[in-house]
A and B are shown apart, each in its own frame.
Chain A
Amino acid sequence: MVDSYRPLSLKEALDLRADTGAMPFAGGTDLMVRYRYESGAIPDYPRPVMFVNQLDDLRKIRRIDHGLSIGAAVTMTEVLDHDDVPEILKEALLTIAAPGLRNTATIAGNICNASPAGDSICALYALDAGVKLQSPGGERIEPIYQFITGPGKIDLHADEILTEIIIPEDHSTIHLFKKVGTRRANALSKLTLSAVARISDSRIDEIRIAIGAVAPTVVRSLELEKRMEGRSLKEVALEAEDILRDYDALVQPIDDQRSTAVYRKRVAMNLVRHFLLGVVLQQKGA
């Protein structure tokens, strides 16, 4: 049997975390499943548990300079109900589980769980989001693609709590979110594509493409994005096949109980191809 704590302020929570190493417990929708011990028995947590969803400090969605901050205890439903949240993130959240689960699950939990199939994560990569990590000694902000280091692995220090998700202002003119799930609702991802682009005067000002569940972490290539940014659609069109080939090399899926490597690979590339050739390069003036 392990201890559980219910701190009433962020400071108390940070101290508890530092002192006891307790696991933050937000919505619990991953923790309750991961440590499930068959019906009727208490889950088998390896370490003390610290509830965080009652912390008012973590329950706010705020506009900040050049972006939006989402508190770590804000539920997915609350994010969905908020006007300032970028559309692509909402689209991603709407594909996660079902209303009842979204009423408790958090984006912070989705990030910290760091599943390659985490659907909000994929959208957050495309939004170039960051996470704020606080400890009794201070705080830091990391881009999500650095914070998540592998399947189920994050760069969270033993005394830290993720407190906010920071989403830069979204200037994209087009976006595409597509989750290929095991069924139409209440489904886990076989793969996901989140892509945004800002196009003006037939030029790609910004583009970000993130592909989920096809590699140990979400696939996003800053290098390939740079290769397209600041260039005209015409120029990119000439190199498109090359770029697609490079994406193809990054997509390294596996077989598992939900799908096959062959399928994931082909469909992921169909979707990237569709976004690039069928959406981006079809913008007017191409």
Chain B
Amino acid sequence: MNKKISTSIKRVDAGIKTGGAARYIGDIPFDGLLYGKIVRSSRARATIKSVSVPALPEGYYYIDAKDIPSGGRNRIEMIKDDWPVFADEQVRFIGETLGLLVGPDRKELNRLRDEVQVEYEDLTPVFSIEESEALKGGPIHGEDNTYADYRLKKGDPDAAFAKAARVIEDTVRTGFQEHIYMEPQGVVARTEDDGKLGIFFSGQCPFYVRHAVSATMGVPEDQVRVQQAVTGGAFGGKEHYPDVISTPLAVAARKIGKPIGLFFDRVEDISFTPKRHPSVTRFKTALDEEGNILGMDIDVRIDAGAYESCSMVVLQRAIFSVNSVYNIPNVKIRGRAFATNNVPSDAYRGFGAPQGLFAIEAHMSHLARAIKVDELKLKQQYLLKQGDVTVTNGRIHEEVKLPEIIQRIDEMSGYSKKLKEYTPGSWKGVGVSLFNHGSGFTGNGEQEIIKGVVKMRKRADGLVDLLVSNVEMGQGLQTTFRKIAAMVLELPVDSVVYNDPNTDLVPDSGPTCASRSIAVVGYLVQEAAKKLKDRWKESDIVEVRQQYEPPEGLIPWDQANLQGDAYPSYGWGANVIEVEVDPLTYEVTTKGIWAVHDVGVAIDEKVVEGQVDGGIIQALGYGSLEKLEVKEGRFQQKTMADYTIPTTMDFPKIKSALVDNPYEYGPFGAKGAGELVFDGAAAAFADAVQMAINGDVKQIPVTPEYIMEVREDGNN
């Protein structure tokens, strides 16, 4: 391990945050701030006949599509632009924005909102993948309701199935997940003194917001200035959604000429903001006489909700992850993202990978149970190695340290020993999961779409400005980016200045997502710092620029056919979880959690450990507690009392370790960590429960209700 970079330092933002001095979006004073309140659709699928707004008191406004300036568009330009700023003619989900009420008093705004009368002509809505596939009520999107329909093939799956001795079928489901960033969504828009539109927001991607707002307003991008505020958690939930709320707010701010804030109430946030895509994955696995896996035929379907936004990219990661760390010789995969009249699904930590990884881990464990072999042994038979072919017919370029990871976690957790000790069905169990996560954008996104740029400037006062658009949102970038720069420049960490980004002042180094900040942008920071160091003596003020270039030796990406190297490098990991199930109540007590990861090299061990702890607990919430049901297009758990994330009491202390595996194109050898750490815990938990009750667990969350079903009714 590179001791110097990995040795942790005190987080630079810890003090001001703990003491309450850090300013989140709702804490910043704006003179004469008005409030916005979204008027929402109460129907899941309907034609709007008319909207009638009550008489507005002095100082109150109603803003809708008619207020979009000429030259602008009633579209939110995200990865796709199918989601309108204000619903036009049709509504496609409950909660869709119809208009925006603006005024000084929030209670009055609520009252006015409740008085807006909308006349609808209802259409037949669809609320599940199955209903969508059956085209209930006619297609919502295209001809078959799929936003994307991909097929992958590796080897010769048809031949494999032709000679199979046995085919095992299995269907695995995952549910919605709500982000519950502790700070709800918030944006403020105003016209600045220089005439630009100013947007202040809580979120991940300042340049996404700038792009979306400029397109809606029909102004050049440099006429929009976006400033990120201290952000109280995001997890993907503030990757695109800030675009959805800053666009109507920008329209209102321009028209009214005063600063307007849109701050979500928690219930509003849970009810109407995007969630993790639910998924249904069907496996058919061909085995030979000895139980060797000959091939797999996998069908992945995800519920993308009412608008596509980024669902096709989520689907890509889901299908690229559905063989996880295994080299299955012959595979065919189909993946489809379905349109439904649920709230649009969008980015959430892992971006499709957790769904795919849970599915394959569950399936591998079911296979092992079906053919009565040791699960870990079965998995070890197929581990990917350096040079192996991936499902996109790319290669694994790095050394795969899974054998070391597995050995390490076995020593730490006593997995193998416990596996022998506990009898399946004795209400005690241990479970294991293996996983990997590609760092950075999928395919050629980094070089074709993002083209990230970092700048660094030596100032006259000897300090160094680090100019990037990536944001601190809790994951520690304020600390890790400064460390990378400082370490290269051989300066103290506090001589590197890195402010919450403002799009007027920093270059576009891309969004803060996809585990790319350290792995991709951090590398640019390192390279920029090297350049600056070389040129340090040139003058008082020296500015350097570094742009992304793809690593050498990759198999070029073919986006049309999804072929080539989907990711240049991967993080790897294993989790072990031990549980006890209460035979009276089917409640699960988690007795132990172990994790070993390869994140290349840790830029600050404590920051990585924080990601590990937080990612695992969030994933255990996903795997066990966080039930989110949709009924007639409405989420049934819409308060924090009913949507239950883990508390201090739900899980024991996590024991984790890192395996060093420096990556050539990562800063100091680092790879991405933020999502990898979310990827394995749900599967290990389900696996442990499965052993405790001796029944196949085929869905998450694994609630006591579901455990009862499997145990008592054997719903296999």
Give chain A's interface residues, CB within 8 Å of chain B. Answer: 37-42, 98, 178, 180, 182-188, 257-260, 262-263, 266-267, 270-271, 274
Known: A180-B587, A188-B641, A270-B584. A263 touches B708 (CB 8 A): yes
Q: Which residue, A39, A266, A270, has most C-beta atoms of chain B within 10 A?
A: A39
B705 and A260 contacting across the interface, CB-CB below 8 Å = yes
B267 proximity list for chain A (CB < 8 A): 38
Q: Mark B99-126, 1 if CB is under 8 A from A, else 0.
A: 0000000110010000000000000000
A262 proximity list for chain B (CB < 8 A): 705, 708
Q: Which residue, B35, B265, B585, B708, has most C-beta atoms of chain A within 10 A?
A: B585
A270 and B585 contacting across the interface, CB-CB below 8 Å = yes
Point out the residue from B110, B268, B636, B647 that lies within 8 Å of A185, measured CB to CB: B647
Chain A: which residue is nearest B704 at the CB level? A263
Give Cα A40 to B34, complex, Å.
Answer: 13
* Among all A-B residue pairs, the 9 with the closest Cβ atoms: A185-B649, A41-B107, A184-B649, A263-B705, A38-B265, A39-B265, A270-B584, A257-B636, A40-B106
A267 and B708 contacting across the interface, CB-CB below 8 Å = yes
A178 proximity list for chain B (CB < 8 A): 584-585
Q: Is B218's beta carbon under 8 Å from chain A?
A: no
Give Cα A141 to B649, complex, Å.
Answer: 39
Known: A184-B650, A185-B648. A271 touches B584 (CB 8 A): yes
A187 proximity list for chain B (CB < 8 A): 644
Q: Is B581's beta carbon under 8 Å from chain A?
A: no
**B624-656 interface with A by 8 A CB criterion:** 625, 629, 636-637, 641-642, 644, 646-650
Point out the residue from A38, A183, A263, A270 that lies within 8 Å of B650, measured CB to CB: A183
Q: Is B83's beta carbon under 8 Å from chain A?
A: no
B110 and A38 contacting across the interface, CB-CB below 8 Å = yes
B307 proximity list for chain A (CB < 8 A): none
B297 to A: closest C-beta gap in Å:
34
Give Cα A104 to B42, complex, Å.
Answer: 36
Give Cα A180 to B585, complex, Å.
Answer: 7
A182 and B625 contacting across the interface, CB-CB below 8 Å = yes
A39 and B647 contacting across the interface, CB-CB below 8 Å = no
Known: A257-B637, A257-B642. A38 touches B625 (CB 8 A): no
Q: Is B263's beta carbon under 8 Å from chain A?
A: yes
7 A-B contacts, Cβ less than 8 Å apart?
A: A38-B267, A182-B644, A184-B647, A185-B647, A188-B642, A257-B637, A267-B584
Q: Is B712's beta carbon under 8 Å from chain A?
A: yes
Q: Is B241's beta carbon under 8 Å from chain A?
A: no
Q: Is B586's beta carbon under 8 Å from chain A?
A: yes
**B670-715 interface with A by 8 A CB criterion:** 704-705, 708, 712
Chain B: which residue is nearest A264 at the CB level? B705
Q: Which residue, B629, B637, B705, has most C-beta atoms of chain A within 10 A?
A: B705
Q: Please give 20 more A-B residue pairs, beta carbons under 8 A apart, in addition to A40-B263, A42-B107, A184-B650.
A: A38-B106, A38-B265, A39-B106, A40-B106, A40-B107, A180-B587, A182-B644, A183-B646, A183-B647, A184-B649, A185-B649, A185-B650, A188-B641, A257-B629, A257-B636, A257-B642, A263-B586, A266-B708, A267-B584, A271-B585
Interface of B is mostly: loop
Chain A: which residue is nearest B645 at the CB level? A183
B705 proximity list for chain A (CB < 8 A): 259-260, 262-263
Point out the residue from B35, B107, B263, B712 that lies within 8 Å of A37, measured CB to CB: B107
Give Cα A42 to B110, complex, Å.
Answer: 11
**B234-292 interface with A by 8 A CB criterion:** 263, 265-268
Known: A37-B107, A267-B586. A180 touches B650 (CB 8 A): no
Give Cα A178 to B582, complex, Å.
Answer: 12
A39 and B263 contacting across the interface, CB-CB below 8 Å = yes
Give Cα A233 to B106, complex, Å.
Answer: 64
B265 proximity list for chain A (CB < 8 A): 38-39
A184 proximity list for chain B (CB < 8 A): 647, 649-650
A188 proximity list for chain B (CB < 8 A): 641-642
Chain A: which residue is nearest B648 at the CB level? A185
**B578-612 interface with A by 8 A CB criterion:** 583-587
A25 to B: closest C-beta gap in Å:
20
Chain B: which residue is nearest A278 at the CB level? B584
B644 proximity list for chain A (CB < 8 A): 182-183, 187
A40 proximity list for chain B (CB < 8 A): 35, 106-107, 263
B185 to A: closest C-beta gap in Å:
12
Chain A: which residue is nearest B624 at the CB level? A183
B36 to A: closest C-beta gap in Å:
12
Give Cα A188 to B585, complex, Å.
Answer: 15
Q: Which residue, A42, A184, A188, has most C-beta atoms of chain B within 10 A?
A: A184
Chain A: which residue is nearest B584 at the CB level? A270
A38 proximity list for chain B (CB < 8 A): 106, 110, 265, 267-268
A270 to B: closest C-beta gap in Å:
4
Give Cα A186 to B643, complex, Å.
Answer: 12
B637 proximity list for chain A (CB < 8 A): 257
B351 to A: closest C-beta gap in Å:
26
A180 and B704 contacting across the interface, CB-CB below 8 Å = yes
B510 to A: closest C-beta gap in Å:
33
A39 proximity list for chain B (CB < 8 A): 106, 263, 265-266
Give Cα A187 to B637, complex, Å.
Answer: 13
Give Cα A53 to B276, complex, Å.
Answer: 44
B649 proximity list for chain A (CB < 8 A): 183-186
Give Cα A183 to B637, complex, Å.
Answer: 14
A93 to B: closest C-beta gap in Å:
16
B399 to A: closest C-beta gap in Å:
41
A180 proximity list for chain B (CB < 8 A): 585, 587, 704
Give Cα A91 to B586, complex, Å.
Answer: 21
Give Cα A182 to B110, complex, Å.
Answer: 31
A183 and B648 contacting across the interface, CB-CB below 8 Å = no
A259 proximity list for chain B (CB < 8 A): 705
B268 proximity list for chain A (CB < 8 A): 38
A99 to B: closest C-beta gap in Å:
11
A267 proximity list for chain B (CB < 8 A): 584-586, 704, 708
A274 and B584 contacting across the interface, CB-CB below 8 Å = yes
Chain A: which residue is nearest B707 at the CB level? A263
Give Cα A259 to B642, complex, Å.
Answer: 10
**B557-590 interface with A by 8 A CB criterion:** 583-587
Chain B: which residue is nearest A182 at the CB level? B644
Give Cα A134 to B584, complex, Å.
Answer: 42
B636 proximity list for chain A (CB < 8 A): 257
Chain B: which residue is nearest A256 at the CB level? B636
A270 proximity list for chain B (CB < 8 A): 583-585
Chain B: which residue is nearest A273 at the CB level? B584
Chain A: which residue is nearest B626 at the CB level? A183
Give Cα A168 to B631, complex, Å.
Answer: 46
B184 to A: closest C-beta gap in Å:
8
A97 to B: closest C-beta gap in Å:
9
A194 to B: closest C-beta gap in Å:
15
Give Cα A38 to B650, complex, Å.
Answer: 29
Give Cα A42 to B107, complex, Å.
Answer: 8
